[in-house]
Amino acid sequence: MASKVHMQGPVYLIENVKGQLTAKTEALEILSAIKQPMVVVAIVGFYRTGKSYLMNKLAGKNKGFSLGSTVQSHTKGIWMWCVPHPQKSDHTLVLLDTEGLGDVEKGDNQNDCWIFALAVLLSSTFVYNSMGAINQQALDQLHYVTELTDRIRTRSSPDQNELEDSDEFVSFFPDFMWTLRDFSLELKVNGEPISADEYLENSLKLIHGKRPTALNLPRLCIRKFFPKKKCFVFERPAHGKKLGQLESLQEQDLDSDFVEQVAEFCSYVFSCSKVKTLSGGIKVNGPRLKGLVITYVNTISTGGLPCMENAILALSQTENAAAVQKAIAHYDQQMSQMLKLPTETLQELLDLHRTIEKEATKIFMENSFKDVDQVFLTQLGAELETKQGYFYKKNQQASSDHCLTLIQDIFGPLEKDVKMGVYSKPGGYCSFNKKIQELKKKYYQAPRKGIQAEETLQKYLQSKEDVIDAILCTDQALTQRERQIEVERVKVEAAKNTAKIKEDIQQKNEQLLQEKEKIYWERMQQLTEKMKKEQAQMMEEQQRATEHKLQEQARQLNERFQQENRRLQDEIKILNEREASRKCVVS
């Protein structure tokens, strides 16, 4: 399939040269070709912590992302590797490997903050990779998460409240995964074994006492922003110089526990990492991820703050314009295949137009999102109405052309007889008029003349009025009185025919107006159904965010209660010890 891309290795997605971020054309072109939903896994961490090794394993390779074997950071910017998803054939797995945080060669951490923020914005699973245990130092090093509210905006409104805005992060932030490398501690609390996830939860509990705000800020941000958290621990993969040769080592040369832990990590990512989804349940594919990359990088490069709302709106502008063209292309293709000109009746054309117009609108609805004020839907409606007008005129012309050919075939011999003087004799007018009626009957019996049948015939007969008058005047078999009566009859019939043509035109116009109204209400019905689905999706997202917020508040209250309870128990214990001591002294 054209939407599948099999990359042999990673390419630069975002290049970082002296702090200037640039989206790379090659990577963007690759994304443009991938129409499948994308599971996007980004990894961030300090350099020389083994990030790239894990990403290579997710790609099913030993080599790919540069591992580096020295103290110098290898990855600069963000590298991308798109591979077929191992468990979902209709999805693409996108791996993003970021440059190492804390590289002394960069001089300051501003660039690190932006790389961290981009990894969060682009991914559906965000992996933070660090060495050793989760302690205060490790959390302090994760200060980048505390700066996200200063780097990312959810809405474009200038009066937005930062604190309230941060509550919305959970609705679009990725799942958070902390991978601990060279982990040597036993996973136990109070002598009882715990899981890696429980270890993470315990490590994120708030500390009460001196400087609580500064110490707890990374903990609060992780708990508040990320909807789902997971932890994996990895033992040291090998010893000594072998660590610098991981790309070439076979599994049997690595620690067996490490191999098993890596396999468990990969299995979890493959089975549990979700598709990158934007607000409103919009699944991200290659072109959409490309749009996000371009928007975010351009915003950062011009000194702005990436804004989710603006990014989605910018993306919607491009996609909605493409959705209009896709709908129009479907309409044109179906009309060219199914429309047989001329149609017998106007309603036949209108019914076909309405059916295909409904299909085209459905295609637009399926491929569009965030169509503010229905600008693009209105554009589609206007273009389809113009298309209908085009086919209406084309149908008219086809009918007129066919009827003129038919008239020439039927009335042609009569015209020759008139020129030869066949009817220029006594009684000629009566014979001529009788012949006209016979030929009109033959004309009416002919099939598929189309909507211009009557008008074309009447125009033809009107063009022959001089000939008819001449035959009438030269017919010596008719008295003057009979001629006058016949002239009056012809005038009355001509007036009736003219009125009939006008009535026919008026009826066609009324049909067109009624059809326009039908199409409008059908379009509004489709729009209403789409808006109901979008509203339900938004409410579901808001409910999840609210539930997460309430759970976090309940958790904090419970932690305070437990701490207060421990304090009271300690005081009771001290009082009991004092009472026991007093009794001993008295006795």
> In CATH, what is the architecture of 320-536?
Up-down Bundle (1.20)
What DSSP state is assigned to residue 159? T
For the chain, give every domain's residue range: 11-154+167-306, 320-536
CA distance 101 to 147: 14
Q: Which residues pair with 153 in a beta bridge?
A: 307
Amino acid symbol at 214: A
Q: Sign of dihedral through CA atoms 157, 158, 159, 160?
A: positive
List, as one string, the DSSP characters of 227-293: S-EEEEE------GGGGGGTTT--GGGS-HHHHHHHHHHHHHHHHHPPPPEETTTEE--HHHHHHHH
CA distance 176 to 141: 16
List, as one string, the DSSP characters of 331-369: HHHHHHHH--SSPSSHHHHHHHHHHHHHHHHHHHHHH--
Q: Cα 515 from chain centroid?
A: 31
Per-residue pLDDT 10s for the chain (587 aa) are 344 567 889 999 999 887 789 999 999 999 999 999 999 999 998 877 788 889 999 999 888 887 543 334 445 789 999 999 999 989 999 999 998 887 655 545 688 889 999 999 999 999 999 999 998 888 888 888 888 888 888 877 655 444 445 567 777 889 999 999 989 888 888 888 999 999 999 999 888 765 557 788 888 889 888 889 999 999 988 775 555 556 556 677 788 889 999 999 999 999 999 999 988 788 999 999 999 999 999 999 998 888 888 888 889 999 999 999 999 999 999 999 999 999 999 999 999 999 999 999 999 999 998 888 899 999 999 999 999 999 999 999 999 999 999 999 999 999 999 899 888 888 888 888 899 999 999 999 999 899 999 999 989 988 988 888 888 888 767 667 777 787 788 788 878 888 888 888 888 889 889 988 998 898 888 888 888 887 887 787 777 777 777 777 777 777 777 776 767 777 777 777 777 777 776 66
- Name the region of 190 (left: φ>0; alpha: ψ -120 to 50; beta: rest): left
Q: What is the 3-state secondary structure (H, E, C) of 61-99?
A: CCCCCCCCCCCCCCCCCEEEEEEECCCCCCCEEEEEEEC
CA distance 266 to 344: 64
> In CATH, what is the architecture of 11-154+167-306?
3-Layer(aba) Sandwich (3.40)
Report the run of H or E that residue 480 belongs to, with start and end: helix 480-586
Phi, psi of 521 (to 5 degrees): -70, -35
Do the beta carbons of residue 58 and residue 93 sit within 8 Å?
A: yes
Do the beta carbons of residue 58 and residue 266 sit within 8 Å?
A: yes
- The residues, ordered by sequence, that sit 6+ positions from 181 with a Cβ below 8 Å of its Cβ are 49, 50, 129, 130, 131, 132, 234
